Amino acid sequence: MALLGIKDRYLKCLRDNRLLGYSGHGDKYWYTQADVDRFLSLNVTALRSGVIFEMSRIL
């Protein structure tokens, strides 16, 4: 998660709310480039305004 600059709990929240596609095996989660690109394209306004990052601080 350090590579992405976000917390584990935040990624879990995105997975749980089906906002970011993933594949899981055991305690490992895999995100395709297409899933990440889709998430970013749908949420670019929220990312720019800081809404998503503010939410990540709460979690």
Mean pLDDT, rounded, of the chain: 78
For position 37, what pLDDT does the model report?
A: 86
Query: 45 lies in which domain range?
Result: 8-58
Can you read off the two tokens belonging to residue 21?
């596609």
Asked if the structure places residue 39 within a domain, the reply is yes
Q: How many domains does the chain have?
A: 1
C-beta separation of 40 from 32 below 8 A: no
Sorted by sequence, the CB contacts under 8 Å of residue 4 that are 6+ apart come out as 11
Give me Rg for the CA atoms of the chain: 11
For position 17, what pLDDT does the model report?
A: 87
Asked if the structure places residue 16 within a domain, the reply is yes
Asked if the structure places residue 1 within a domain, the reply is no
pTM of the model: 0.63
CA distance readout (Å), 6 to 3, 57:
8, 9
Residue 59: which pLDDT band, with cuts at 50, 70 and 90? Answer: very low
For position 45, what pLDDT does the model report?
A: 65
How far apart, in whole angstroms, are the C-alpha atoms of residue 21 and residue 29? 10
